[in-house]
Amino acid sequence: MSFTQLIKDSDSVFSAYHVIVLQAADYPALFMRALLAKIARESVIKPMTIDLATADLKQVQLQLSTSFLGQRCRYWLGNLNQLSAKNVTTLTKFLSNYQAEHTILVGSANVITGPGVITIPCPATVDKKLMCELFALYSTAEQQRCALMARDIFMHIQTTSLEQAIQILNYASVLGANRALFIDQWFDKIVKQENSLFQLSGLLLAQNNNFWPLWARVHDSYEFPFWLAYFSELFFRANFYILYRKQQKLAEAKKIGFRLPFSFLQRDWQRIEPLALQQTHQRLTDIDYQLKNGASPTTLDSLFTTWLAK
pLDDT of residue 296: 67
> Which helix (DSSP H) or strand (DSSP E) does residue 132 occupy?
helix 128-134
Distance CA 307, CA 73 (A): 61
pLDDT of residue 294: 66
Coil, strand or helix at 49: strand
Amino acid at 251: A
Distance CA 235, CA 73 (A): 53
pLDDT of residue 43: 85
Is the domain spanning 3-121 CATH 3.40.50.300? The answer is yes
Distance CA 246, CA 90 (A): 46
Distance CA 36, CA 18 (A): 17
Give the chain's largest Cα–Cα span.
76
The number of angstroms, rounded, from the C-alpha of 200 to the middle of its chain's C-alpha atoms is 18
pLDDT of residue 157: 77
pLDDT of residue 37: 92
pLDDT < 50 positions in the chain: none
Distance CA 258, CA 243 (A): 15
pLDDT of residue 290: 79
Domain 196-308, CATH class in plain words: mainly alpha
Distance CA 14, CA 37 (A): 15
> Does residue 240 contact residue 278 with C-beta atoms inside 8 Å?
no
